[in-house]
């Protein structure tokens, strides 16, 4: 199976076999990440970031560099006229002449999909509004696979902002490809996962919604904490009413399963106490390393190098 030339816009565009292919490509990348490689020599990646980012952009750039390729691009927080669909189209039509692959992050939902339709080179969605963040979900799944050996049968709690957080949407779709996983969706009422996503994943896997993290802590293998997405609230008073809803502490984790792991897409604000970092459960920094391998693998796949 080849993923050469494919766009990576939504997890829903891929089968389980294709997702597994991406995970095995990441495995192949570990030795290359350590010693460097030239498999993408001469290839250029353009990063078009219309919204702030640190790790996603640096992770893609590092991935490209470690494979011998190079990168160009921009990171303009809160870009102005570029938020209009027409101008995005023009930007893409220009930049595709300069690069072999485009990595796009945009505050508007649908922007990456549009970019993919316009561009003649592969487009990778690095976050589209509160809709999706597929490469984060692939690295989340990869983290679970590396830590537990397999995804099947895992019980995963997603905690925090399930309404505006895009990583949780992509991750929920990805987990729903693994039939006997169970998902606990823990959030304040206001930040419950969107109904359409819930309906889709509910067809394939067991899903339980709730508000109390402590109650389900002894049951789950993965505690996936997320930041309340302050910048995506239309009403600041709404944000004030839910901020600080969850704060996972070292003491809380005494109730967790022995082998349970804590994950987080980062950046963290106050939802995971710093004293969790030194527990046996913390995996959020390890997740960053796995993310590098996944992005190396994805670039190599869409550019036809593996
Ligand atoms: C996430 C994002 O941008 O959606 N960050 C990331 O890419 N790891 C999560 C967040 O901003 O809370």
- Digit-coded pLDDT (tens) for 126-177: 999 999 999 999 999 999 999 999 999 999 999 999 999 999 999 999 999 9
Count of CB atoms situated within 10 Å of the CB of 113: 19
- Digit-coded pLDDT (tens) for 12-66: 999 999 999 999 999 999 999 999 999 999 999 999 998 888 889 999 999 999 9
If you measure from the C-alpha of residue 278 to the centroid of ligand 1, how many angstroms do you get, rounded to a whole number?
23
Spell out the domains of the chain, with CATH numbers in brackets: 11-132+291-302 (3.40.50.1370), 134-288 (3.40.50.1370)
Rounded CA gap, 203 and 201, in Å? 5
pLDDT of residue 55: 87
Q: Whose CA is nearest to atom 7 of ligand 1?
A: 56
Specify which residues 297 forms β-bridges with: none
If you measure from the C-alpha of residue 1 to the centroid of ligand 1, how many angstroms do you get, rounded to a whole number?
30
Check if 12 is active-site: no
Rounded CA gap, 30 and 37, in Å? 11
- Torsion angles phi and psi, residue 207, rounded to 5: -130, 135
pTM of the prediction?
0.96
If you measure from the C-alpha of residue 265 to the centroid of ligand 1, how many angstroms do you get, rounded to a whole number?
6
For residue 209, the SS3 value is strand
pLDDT of residue 226: 98
Average pLDDT over residues 77-86: 53
DSSP 6-33: --B--GGGS-HHHHHHHHHHHHHHHHHH
Is the Cβ atom of 265 under 6 angstroms away from ligand 1? Answer: yes
Residue 253: band (very low, low, confident or very high) from pLDDT cuts 50, 70, 90: very high
Check if 133 is active-site: yes
DSSP 162: T
- Digit-coded pLDDT (tens) for 273-306: 999 999 999 999 999 999 999 999 999 999 999 9
Distances (CA, A) of 252 to 84, 133, 220: 45, 29, 13
Mean pLDDT for the chain overall: 95
Is the Cβ atom of 105 under 6 angstroms away from ligand 1? Answer: no
DSSP 235: -
Rounded CA gap, 213 and 185, in Å? 9
Rounded CA gap, 265 and 53, in Å? 12
């Amino acid at each position: 199976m080849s993923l050469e030339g494919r766009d990576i816009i939504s997890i829903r565009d891929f089968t389980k076999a294709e997702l597994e292919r991406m995970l095995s490509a990441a495995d192949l990348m570990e030795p290359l990440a350590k010693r460097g490689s030239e498999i993408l020599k001469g290839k250029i990646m353009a990063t078009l970031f219309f919204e702030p980012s640190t790790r996603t952009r640096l992770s893609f750039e590092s991935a490209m560099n470690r494979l011998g390729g190079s990168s160009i691009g921009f990171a303009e927080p809160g870009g102005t006229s570029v938020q209009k669909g027409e101008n995005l189209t023009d930007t893409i039509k220009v930049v595709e002449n300069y690069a072999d692959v485009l990595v796009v992050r945009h505050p508007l939902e649908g922007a990456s999909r549009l970019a993919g339709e316009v561009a003649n080179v592969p487009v990778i969605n690095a976050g589209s509004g509160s809709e999706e963040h597929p490469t984060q979900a692939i690295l989340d799944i990869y983290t679970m696979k590396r830590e537990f050996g397999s995804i099947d049968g895992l019980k995963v709690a997603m905690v925090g902002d399930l309404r505006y957080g895009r990583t949780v949407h992509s991750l929920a779709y990805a987990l729903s490809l693994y039939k006997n996983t169970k998902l606990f969706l823990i959030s304040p009422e206001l930040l419950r996962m969107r109904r359409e996503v819930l309906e889709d994943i509910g067809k394939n896997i067991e899903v339980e919604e709730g508000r109390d993290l402590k109650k389900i802590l002894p049951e789950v293998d993965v505690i996936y904490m997320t930041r309340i997405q302050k910048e995506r609230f239309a009403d600041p008073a709404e944000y004030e009413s839910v901020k600080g809803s969850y704060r996972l502490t070292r003491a809380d984790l005494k109730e967790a399963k022995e082998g349970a792991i804590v994950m987080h897409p980062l950046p963290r604000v106050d939802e995971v106490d710093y004293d969790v970092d030194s527990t046996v459960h913390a995996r959020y920094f390890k997740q960053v390393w796995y993310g590098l391998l996944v992005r190396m693998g994805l670039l190599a796949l869409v550019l036809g190098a593996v």
